[in-house]
Structure 1
Amino acid sequence: MDIFLHLSIEDAINVFFNNLVQRFGDYFQGFSAFVLKWILVPIELALKGTPAILILAVVGWLAWVGSKRLSMSVVLVGLLYLIGCFGLWDKLLQTLAIMLVSTTLAVMLGLPLGILMSRSLWLRSGVSPVLDMMQTLPTFVYMIPVLMLFGLGKVPAIIATVIYALPPLVRLTDLGIRQVPEDIVEAGKSFGCTQTQLLLKIQLPLARPSIMAGINQSVMMALGMIVIASMIGARGLGEDVLAGINNLDIGRGLQAGLAIVILAIVIDRISQAFGKGRRHRAVMAKKQKRVALA
């Protein structure tokens, strides 16, 4: 005996998206063409037109500015150089372009949303379940409507990556601002700070470690989408991993996977170094100096 009611939302969802494509399909395609022509392709061309030695130098400089450790800069530059030795430099730049666009969009959306959530309890209550769904829903599920609306290519891959990578940045921005000590906030108000001044000069600077951790997590999650995104035409390093899976070419797949891991390590170390702040670096420098003198 069947005790279950026969319910289905399948037809309603299909009708909704079919109507959406029929009415606004041209706008979605226009948006896709705009992002591809004016944002993604110029970034890719700029990266590919930049000498590899200059990109390596910039990465080394960023690592040194963030950590003040020459050893870290040398190691990270050496790891990126290894990707070039694998013959994957061009695909690395394709992946990096997608990462730059995806991370920029995630920051543009996630940072303001996290700030608004920190100031509004009802907004936090309404957005938190949506963020939970975005984090737990399998990526292939929300990739289906993205493909239906935008077609195959790099733009739907970017949109799917942003959806997947957005929640940690929103949550950690909200958390970082709410954890700013109340006495500091009250001191700012007593000195006549406006809400904007309070946000820009007190809350955001003190919440920077948490915000940078959110950006770091977003970047790591975006990198995790690279292989999946290659299935819908994103190309880059994920394309070689996918080709290795399809052709049972273990060497090719592992080599491209190692390149993705290296890129993740480089981005992770640099973003963490900037997230720790000047005070942490000053303390570490004093400790190292004491050890050296001892």
Structure 2
Amino acid sequence: MSLSPAQRVFRFAPSPNGRLHLGHAYSACLNHDRAREVGGQFLLRLEDIDLARCTPELEASLLSDLAWLGLTPDAPPRRQSEHFADYEAAIAALRDAGLVYPAFMTRGEVKGFATLHEKREGRPWPRDPDGAPIYPGLDRDLTPDERRARIRDGAPFAWRLDMAAALARLEGPLSFTETGNGSEDEVLAEPALWGDVVLARKDLPTSYHLAVTLDDALQGVTDVVRGCDLLPSTSVHRLLQALLGLPVPRYHHHELILGEDGRKLSKSEGAASVRALGEAGLTPVDIRRMVGL
């Protein structure tokens, strides 16, 4: 069933942990423009679950830059840090269904396990689409008593999705609509490529995968427009939608704005900010021209 224009909802979802750069500006403008073209809504979500790196000063800077670009959201921004209860409820539902378990291996320990295996066996350890070693699942088989004892002793842990158990709940393959190639394509979701992904931690009730999936549903997002680097993650999001009974938006994964070295722009590596470009005399029209809009 096609959606009427008034029902179309787009969102821009940056993390306020650095200055807005040209890649962000492109994605924000694309979401804004598509919403305006169809008479839909343009929403802003601040993905600020990293409370150490996301600061009020950087959030204020981000909002100021969006205003300077002429991008006005149609509702107050949703801050993920204000909605931890939503994520806790989702984890509780998955836990009650037996689909998540506490895993105690750290990211460094998983990497060390994979490196040791490769040296010993002489063949590569499987990796997820982002290139990280797949979690070996050693904690999946702990008994309930062993898990409780480790948690009682204060061991840090993450809630990982039991991928095999989750896939067993499905009645058939999952897919999603992708329009990034200029046509409506039905793409097969392959969540198994990610292994037992982290959905939350002991001290943080969510991860990117869980938060973005739940937020899109709670904000009524119908069209997810974001960078093509996130296309593989959509398989995990599609699985979570099925497990939690959430609606499935349409997806459009756009090309990335690359630096002179051909790499994706990064806040951590000092990509030129929109603010710096504005202070150098460029206008919002110049910014749009630079990103091909």
TM-score range, shorter chain: under 0.3
More strand by share: 2
Q: TM-score, normalised by structure 1?
A: 0.26
Find the structure with the greater CA-based Rg: 1
